[in-house]
Amino acid sequence: MAKKSKNIGDSIDLSRKKKKELDVETNIKVAYKTGKILFGKSQVLRQLRQKPFKMIIIANNCPSEFETQLNYYNNLMGSSIFIYRYKGSSWELGLAMGKPYMISVIGINEFGDSALLNLKTKE
């Protein structure tokens, strides 16, 4: 005699919906492919003096002196650039961009097709 199989839908609570989280790593890669991004300390500082970015992403292990320097340039120019601290290290930020080396800072001029702009509302 065959056993009656349970319906899977009866045992799962469907009333709680999972919130869709913003995947920062994939959005960084999408912005790198479709938008305009500069990375590296010297390149970001050089571009920041000429024209402000829309957003800056820094690694978690980025030196505090560099972060204060970014805040200084941000206040000096009078523009409010959103600076997001990435949760991973510079190795992980480099891997998120698809590079085999460390990246401590990313400056974003154009977001492209990514949803990185939603990080401002999330914070």
Q: What is the pLDDT of residues 39-68, one digit of tens each?
A: 999 999 999 888 888 999 999 999 999 999
Q: Is the pLDDT of residue 9 over 80?
A: no
Distance set, CA 92 to CA 67, 71, 82 (Å): 18, 23, 21
pTM confidence score: 0.78
- Spatial contact of 103 and 39, defined as CB atoms under 8 Å apart: yes
Q: In CATH, which superfamily holds the domain spanning 22-122?
A: Ribosomal protein L30/S12 (3.30.1330.30)
- Spatial contact of 115 and 27, defined as CB atoms under 8 Å apart: yes
Q: What is the mean pLDDT of the chain?
A: 84
Tell me what the mean pLDDT of segment 105-123 comes to: 86
| pLDDT reported for residue 11 | 59
| pLDDT reported for residue 6 | 58
How distant is the alpha carbon of residue 121 from its chain centre?
A: 13
Res. 107 pLDDT band, cuts 50 70 90? very high
Distance set, CA 35 to CA 32, 54, 109, 115 (Å): 6, 12, 8, 11
Q: Closest by alpha carbon to 105, among 30, 48, 27, 34? A: 48
Q: Which strand (E) or helix (H) includes residue 117?
A: none
| pLDDT reported for residue 95 | 92
Q: Is the pLDDT of residue 12 over 70?
A: no
